[in-house]
Amino acid sequence: MAVLGVLLFTVLDARRQSLNAPAVKPGALDRTSPGAEAPPLYVPPPPPSAPVEPPVQQVQPAPAPALPPPQPQIIYVPQPAPPQQQAAPQQPPRVAGDPALVIDTTSGEAPAGGPGATGAVPPNAAAGGPDSSTRSPGIAGGRVRVAQFANRSSTVPQGTLIPAVLETGLDSTRPGLARAMVTKDVRGFDGTRILIPRGSRLIGEYQAEASPGQKRALVNWIRLIRPDGATIAIGSPVSDPVGRGGMKAKVDNHFFARFTGAILQSALDIGVNLASRSANSPVIVALPGTVQQTTQPLTQQTQQVTPTLKVSPGTSITVFVARDLDFSGADNKP
């Protein structure tokens, strides 16, 4: 049995190896006769070549025939007619009785025919000489020169508004003085120094001359006193918080005092005519001037009554600086 098993194992193993080994020996189908020819191999035909487009010959356009130069055209332009000189309009003859306005632009008196005479031009005026520099800026042809502030930090320029508040009331019945206090610091031209500190006092004066229809009170501030004792003559008018001249005031027109005389005169005229009329006449005619001699002094006194302007303390105002204020010597303490 052992021998039979070994033999069977050997046969099976040899068969297995023959199946796993590659086929290197030709089979029956692979064997050909020695005189037979091998079949021809298939060779694919070469691909057709791409068609070659023939070159396109560009046709040059025929040159355009040269045109003859255009013939010059003659255009007639009419010449303008010579200007006709118009006769200057004749001024109407001056009547001997009409007043004549004469404007003298000279600064001083001069003999007739000299440089200061009316209509004559000074020799230095055109060149900006001394004569033209002394003219007023408002005169036509005047000349002014530029100037610089000597001390910018210690100068309050003209046109500055100084805010303040009234400490005293104002009544235009009689002239008097007024006082105000500065409510905000005011700096110099360059803004580096406070020249008018808050709390400075303003001293001014007002008049009692109020014309009919006047509604704003006028105060001229004459002096400014700083808290440190420095003082300066300010010489500037009062204005409201937005810079308008004067300050708003309460107006008392004295209506009854002004028209009492007229009412009394009318009543007396009617009474006199009522007493002297006829008993049968229903019409009363009051002729003016019947009692004029009696009531004329009273009427004249009532017509002279002027309005009264009143301003209460605590009113907000501003001072419009009318000239440059120089505080350069305010810090020089003894």
pTM (2 d.p.): 0.48
Give the residue carrying structure tokens 């050997």: 10
- Residue 197 lies inside a defined structural domain of this protein: yes
285 and 169 both lie in a single domain: no
Residues 269 and 217 in one domain: no
The verdict on residue 167 lying in a domain is yes
209 and 316 both lie in a single domain: yes
Same domain, 185 and 316: yes
The larger pLDDT score, comparing residue 39 to residue 146, is at 146
Beta strands in the chain (DSSP E): 155-156, 161-166, 170-171, 176-182, 186-187, 194-196, 201-206, 216-217, 220-225, 231-232, 236-239, 247-248, 250-252, 308-311, 316-320, 325-326
Residues 219 and 241 in one domain: yes
Predicted local confidence at residue 264, as pLDDT:
67
Q: How high is the pLDDT of residue 23?
A: 59
User: Does residue 110 belong to any structural domain of this protein?
Assistant: no
Structural domain contains residue 204: yes
What pLDDT score does 34 carry?
60
Amino acid at 236: S
Asked whether the predicted pLDDT for residue 125 surpasses 50, the reply is: no
Structural domain contains residue 276: yes
- Name the pLDDT band for 71 (thresholds 50, 70, 90): confident
On whether both 183 and 240 belong to a single domain, the answer is yes
Q: Is residue 223 part of a domain?
A: yes
Whole-number pLDDT of residue 111: 41
Distance, CA of 235 to CA of 294 (rounded, Å)? 49
Q: Structural domain of residue 288, as residue ranges? A: 255-304
**Dihedral pair phi/psi, residue 80, rounded to 5°:** -65, 145
Segment 48-69, tens digit of pLDDT: 777 777 777 777 777 777 777 7
Greater pLDDT, 162 or 133? 162
Alpha carbon distance 330, 189 (integer Å)? 16
Q: pLDDT tens digits for 12-23?
A: 888 888 777 665
How sure is the predictor about 259, in pLDDT bands with cuts at 50, 70 and 90?
Answer: low
Same domain (yes/no): 180, 293 = no
Q: Are residues 171 and 277 in the same domain?
A: no
Looking at the structure, tell me whether residues 219 and 275 fall in a common domain: no
* Cα Rg, the chain, nearest whole Å: 61
Q: Which of 154, 207, 179 lies closest to 319 in space, CA to CA?
A: 179
For residues 187 and 313, membership in a common domain is answered with: yes
Whether the predicted pLDDT of 28 surpasses 70: no
Domain match, 160 and 299 both: no
Is-contact 170 311, C-beta < 8 A? yes
**Helix pair 292-303, 255-276: axis angle to 10 deg:** 170
pLDDT tier at 143 (50, 70, 90 boundaries)?
confident
Q: Say which residue the tokens 């004329």 belong to.
A: 296
Judge contact between 159 and 324, C-beta under 8 A.
no
Query: Does a structural domain hold residue 169?
Result: yes
Higher pLDDT, residue 89 or 183:
183
How far apart are alpha carbons 66 and 177 in whole angstroms?
105
Q: Are residues 164 and 236 in the same domain?
A: yes
**How far is it, in rounded angstroms, from Cα 13 to Cα 6?**
10
Domain total in the chain: 2
Residue 61, domain member (yes or no)? no
Residue 202 pLDDT > 90: yes
CATH (domain of 222): 2.40.128.260
